[in-house]
């Protein structure tokens, strides 16, 4: 008799033990893999949020500026053309005066000179002032309250990024200025509050990180998504319906099929080069325009949409088609009345995921001139939004990340948060659509 005959159901044989152990180990590997993934996600998210939330707050200085007629309108006739001749440089004395007046009002004594006082404010303050005066010339001669941005170092000081030690060799700010800032914070003149301009505003030059916003780039991204949606969805759906429902199965359609899959794997920079060659150099569409960006991203998104649409068409059971044809519907009717509505949730999901992918794309935009100091004029009309030069959110983040002032770095992280909010919203939408409308057979 062999040993095997003596096995009992109650006692485990070594072989079973080994198999059970192997299974347990495998489960442990799985849990470990998930744990690693989750940890990466947590590190990433905490990093982004920790570094980026600062961008949503900004330091402001409230000042009463006397709009001196002697500086702004020497002739005193309120002629807008004359007022416009005073450049932003001519507004500096007003800000200096306002700052001195404020210090006198709250009783702070300082031996700092005008230029250092002015240095606490953003370089954009004069632009803000001039903008106000040119739109409200009748206010000249009055004293108006303004809320100016503080310069990036002051903002960094209130956020803890800049310290007295770190500015030892810094020319942009001095320890005396920080002392004054402390006093002004105590007096309530300088406050740190939520900054809507970061979400809604335009990009600013390297000298004014405090004024930079992602709003215009966001509009650029949205315009591009509009173009992608308007082109990639109809073209993609039409192509997949034909390939799936009507096209004969032969060598030619096989080649087309393989090539669509290949196209999906092409690196996005290639589409950028193609866009530069075809849309800008050959078709003479304007450079840096979201329209061209949208066209390039359409090329990139098309294969994704075609593949997902074909998969969801395939998932509709043939019995539906047969039933439709059986009651006398034409092939086209059976597709449009029965198959397409049933496949729609899958198509939409694929489209949204394709769009989300396109939204985060920077590489092709580098080549068609959408990276740089571009997103500075908010577009006024839809056509303007498509044709006027603009950037896109990921391109703006890239641009900020490489600028010299560390304050831009914080804004790059803030931009990432906004971009992620968009992506998460789109992906959630895709999941909801699938959950609510998908039917299973």
d(CA 314, CA 441): 12
Element (H, E) at 59: strand 57-66
Residue (361 or 399) nearer to another protein, CB: 399
- 321 near 338, Cβ under 8 Å? yes
Tell me: does residue 263 bind another protein (CB under 8 A). Answer: no
Q: At what angle do helices 290-314 and 340-359 cross, to 10 degrees?
A: 140
Q: How far apart are CA 328 and CA 334, in angstroms?
A: 9
Please identify which residue in 264, 401, 420, 429 interacts with another protein, judged by CB under 8 A.
401
Locus of tokens 């004969």: 248
Looking only at residues 201 through 230 of this chain, which bind another protein when binding is defined by CB under 8 A? 204-208, 227, 229-230
Element (DSSP H or E) covering residue 102: helix 92-106
Q: Show the tokens assigned to 127.
A: 């632009």
CA dist., res. 203 & res. 375, Å (int) = 5
HSE toward the beta carbon, residue 386, CA cutoff 13 A: 12
Question: Residue 360, Cβ neighbours under 10 Å: how many?
Answer: 15
Total residues interacting with another protein, rule: CB under 8 A: 57
For the chain, the farthest-separated pair of C-alpha atoms sits apart, in whole angstroms, at 122
The least distance separating another protein from the CB of residue 20, rounded to whole angstroms, comes to: 46
Instruction: Name the residue nearer to another protein (CB basis): 103 or 416.
Output: 416
47 binding another protein? (CB under 8 A): no
| Under rule CB under 8 A, residue 286 binds another protein | yes
Which residue among 403, 420, 429, 434 contacts another protein (CB under 8 A)? 403
Binding mask 351-390 for another protein (x = CB under 8 A): ---------------x--x-xxxx-xx-----x--xxxx-
Q: For another protein, which is the closer residue by CB, 102 or 210? A: 210
Q: How far is the CB of 205 from another protein (least distance, A)?
A: 4
* Ordered strands of the 57-66 beta sheet: 143-149, 57-66, 190-194
In DSSP terms, 65 is beta-bridged to 144
Binding window for another protein (CB under 8 A); candidates: 1-9, 33-41, 56-64, 283-291 = 283-291
Interface residue with another protein among 168, 188, 327, 328 (CB under 8 A) is 168
Measured from the CB atom, the residue of 134 and 193 that comes closer to another protein is 134
Q: Does 166 participate in binding another protein (rule CB under 8 A)?
A: yes
Q: Which of 289, 304, 173, 305 is nearest to 237 (CA)?
A: 305
Task: Confirm if 421 and 53 have CB atoms less than 8 A apart.
Answer: no
3-state secondary structure of 132: helix
Stretch that binds another protein, among 4-12, 98-106, 200-208, 349-357 (CB under 8 A): 200-208
Does the protein bind another protein through residue 234 (CB under 8 A)?
Answer: yes
CB of 16 to another protein, least distance (A): 52
Positions that interact with another protein (CB under 8 A): 84, 87-89, 123, 127, 130-131, 162, 166-172, 204-208, 227, 229-231, 233-234, 237-238, 280-281, 284-288, 291, 336, 366, 369, 371-374, 376-377, 383, 386-389, 401-406
């Amino acid at each position: 008799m062999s040993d095997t005959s003596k096995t009992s159901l109650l006692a485990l044989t070594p072989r079973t033990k080994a198999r059970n152990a192997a299974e347990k180990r495998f489960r442990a590997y799985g849990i470990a893999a998930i744990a690693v993934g989750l940890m990466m996600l947590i590190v990433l998210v905490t990093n982004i949020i920790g570094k980026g939330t600062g961008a949503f707050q900004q330091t402001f200085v409230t000042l009463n500026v006397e709009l001196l007629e002697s500086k702004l309108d020497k002739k005193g006739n309120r002629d807008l053309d004359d007022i416009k001749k005073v450049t932003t440089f001519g507004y500096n004395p007003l800000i200096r005066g306002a700052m001195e007046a404020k210090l006198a009002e709250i009783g702070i004594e300082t031996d700092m000179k005008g230029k250092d006082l002015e240095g606490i404010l953003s370089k954009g303050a004069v632009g803000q002032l001039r903008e106000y005066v040119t739109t409200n010339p009748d206010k000249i001669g009055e004293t108006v309250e303004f809320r100016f941005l503080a310069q990036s170092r002051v903002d960094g000081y209130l956020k803890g990024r800049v310290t007295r030690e770190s500015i030892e060799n810094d020319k942009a700010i001095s320890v005396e200025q920080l002392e004054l800032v402390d006093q002004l914070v105590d007096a309530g003149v300088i406050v740190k509050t939520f900054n809507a301009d970061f979400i809604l505003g335009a990009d600013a030059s390297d000298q004014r990180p405090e004024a930079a916003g992602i709003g215009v780039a966001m509009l650029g991204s949205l315009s591009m998504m509009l173009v992608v949606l308007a082109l990639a969805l109809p073209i993609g759906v039409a192509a997949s319906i034909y390939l799936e429902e009507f096209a004969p199965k032969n060598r030619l359609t096989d080649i087309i099929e393989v090539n669509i899959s290949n196209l999906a794997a092409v690196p996005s920079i290639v589409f950028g080069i193609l866009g530069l060659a075809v849309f800008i150099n050959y078709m003479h569409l304007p450079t840096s325009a979201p329209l061209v960006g949208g066209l390039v991203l359409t090329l990139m998104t098309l294969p994704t949409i075609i593949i997902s649409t074909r998969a969801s068409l395939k998932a509709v059971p043939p019995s539906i088609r047969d039933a439709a044809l059986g009651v006398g519907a034409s092939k086209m009717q059976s597709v449009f009345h029965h198959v397409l509505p049933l496949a729609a949730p899958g198509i939409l999901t694929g489209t949204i995921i394709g769009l989300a992918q396109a939204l985060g794309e920077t590489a092709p935009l580098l080549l068609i001139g959408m990276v740089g100091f571009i997103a500075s004029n908010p577009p006024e009309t839809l056509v303007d939004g498509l044709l006027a030069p603009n950037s896109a959110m990921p391109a703006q983040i890239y641009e900020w990340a490489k600028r010299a002032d560390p304050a831009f770095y914080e804004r790059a992280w803030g931009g990432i948060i906004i971009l992620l909010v968009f992506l998460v919203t789109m992906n959630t939408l895709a999941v909801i659509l699938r959950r609510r409308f998908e039917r299973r057979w």
